[in-house]
Every structure is written in structure tokens, then in C-alpha cells.
Amino acid sequence: MQMRKRREFIEERVLEIIEAEKNSTKKYETKRLMILRLVAVDKIKTKDIAKMVGYNKASINNIVSRYFKEGLASMIGENRKGGNKRYLSENESAKLLKTFEKQSDSGHMLVISDIKKAYEKKIGKEVPCSTIYRMVARQKWRKIMPRSKHPKSKPEEQEAYKKNH
């Protein structure tokens, strides 16, 4: 079985990683950069790094590989694939829905398409309706519909009333 050739970090990249790790403020960024530093500077094996940081060996290899393909920018910031893609924070979405809350308090019916239009206008791009339904659910809003008839209604009495009046 042939071993893979270990990629070498040049001095500039090592200094770049160390500097970025010092300036990092987010936990996930710091962990990624620490992994790179442990590989580049300390030359620690992947399985030992996995024990230290609590990541899977494959994840560590993916981080190192992505660094060599995409550079330091791939380790910093929210430029990961997948995950949470909310365009508005909880506070911003609450403020947006607050405008519609006034409308509902005055007795008007709320329509998701109206909320969707306001949301899209605010973020500047189109989103599916499911995004709006999820946002509304996160804000603990629920669908309340008027019932079509009263549960104790008696159709015969209503017909008799209509005939007599």
C-alpha cells in the first residue's frame, strides 16, 4: 500500500495561518485555523489532531484539502456550503412581521404572499414560500382560520328563520 504524499506548507502560508488565528473571533474559524496550524507548524498526525479538537479525521483532511484548493478565504467567514441560510436575523424578521401584526389586529386577514413580497423587497432577492412559512413558525405565529359554521348551529332553525323574516 502506497502512502499519500504529505503537502508542504511554505513559510508565507504558515505566517498567514498564525496571523489569521490570532485575529479570529469566531469559534469555528479558530478551530479550522488551529487545525491548519497543528498540521503546518507542529506536524501532528491527523488522528492526534482529531482527538485534540474533537473533529473526525475525514473532516480534518477536508479542511486541509480545502485550504490548499481555495486558500485562507475558505477558512474564514460564512462561506461554507449548506447550513443555515436565513437572510434576516430573528430580530429583523420579528420587525418585519410586526408591521403585519398591526394589520391583523385591526381585523384584516394576513396573506403569506404579502409577507413574501415584503421579505423579498427587504433582502433584494426571490425566495420560496417555504422560507416565509418557516420564518412565521419561528416567530410562533400560527394559522388561524375562521370556521365555516358554528359547531352548535342547527340548519333547520336557520331555514325556518329565513322563511319567517
Determine the pLDDT at residue 149. 81
Determine the pLDDT at residue 152. 86
Residue 9: helix, strand or coil by DSSP? coil
Q: How deeply is 57 buried, as exposed, middle or buried, from its count of CB atoms within 10 A (0-12, 13-18, 19+)? A: middle
User: What is the reported pTM?
Assistant: 0.47
In order of 87, 111, 113, 124, 127, the CA distances from 98 in angstroms are 17, 14, 16, 20, 20
Determine the pLDDT at residue 84. 64
Determine the pLDDT at residue 73. 82
In order of 103, 124, 125, 140, 161, the CA distances from 62 in angstroms are 50, 33, 32, 38, 76
Grouped pLDDT means (10 residues each) for the chain, 165 residues: 66 86 87 90 89 90 88 74 73 90 80 92 91 90 78 87 85
